[in-house]
């Protein structure tokens, strides 16, 4: 799951010169993930993993790193 999310973010949403050096705890928001990117990411995650991520939970703490995203998705996966 995390690798699919990582690939989508680096292919579609933000550009980093060496994505392999970007750790699972590095800050995606500081790297350039913006509000439009977050919305595209949420739609991608919901489609790929069959989950619904509530709008009320769209918060920097849930989207600021790969580990945070993974935990958020796992909370809503049945």
**Average pLDDT score over residue span 29-51:** 96
Q: Is residue 33 part of a domain?
A: yes
The predicted model scores a pTM of 0.92
Place of tokens 């989207």: 63
Q: What is the pLDDT of residue 78?
A: 74
Tokens (6 digits) for 75: 């909370």
Asked if residue 53 is part of any domain, the answer here is: yes
What element of type H or E holds 50?
Answer: none
How far is it, in rounded angstroms, from Cα 20 to Cα 24?
Answer: 10
- Percent over 90 (pLDDT), the chain: 95
Decide if 59 contacts 51 (C-beta within 8 A). Answer: no
Residue 57 domain-assigned (yes or no): yes
Alpha-carbon distance of 39 to 41, in angstroms, equals: 5
Residue 24 in domain:
no
- Our count of domains for the chain comes to 1
Domain that holds residue 52: 2-9+29-76
The distance from CA 39 to its chain's CA centroid, rounded to whole angstroms, is 10
Mean pLDDT score across all residues of the chain: 95
Q: Model confidence over 11-29: pLDDT tens digits?
A: 999 998 899 999 999 999 9
CATH value at residue 66: 1.10.1200.10
Name, in order, each residue with C-beta under 8 angstroms of 4's C-beta and a sequence gap of 6 or more: 48
Structural domain includes residue 42: yes
């Amino acid at each position: 799951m995390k690798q699919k999310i990582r690939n989508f973010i680096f292919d579609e949403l933000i550009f980093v010169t060496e994505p392999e050096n970007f750790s699972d705890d590095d800050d995606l928001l500081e790297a350039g993930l913006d509000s439009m990117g977050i919305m595209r990411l949420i739609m991608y995650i919901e489609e790929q993993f069959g989950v619904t991520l509530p709008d009320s939970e769209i918060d920097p703490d849930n989207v600021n790193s790969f580990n945070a995203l993974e935990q958020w998705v796992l909370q809503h996966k049945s």
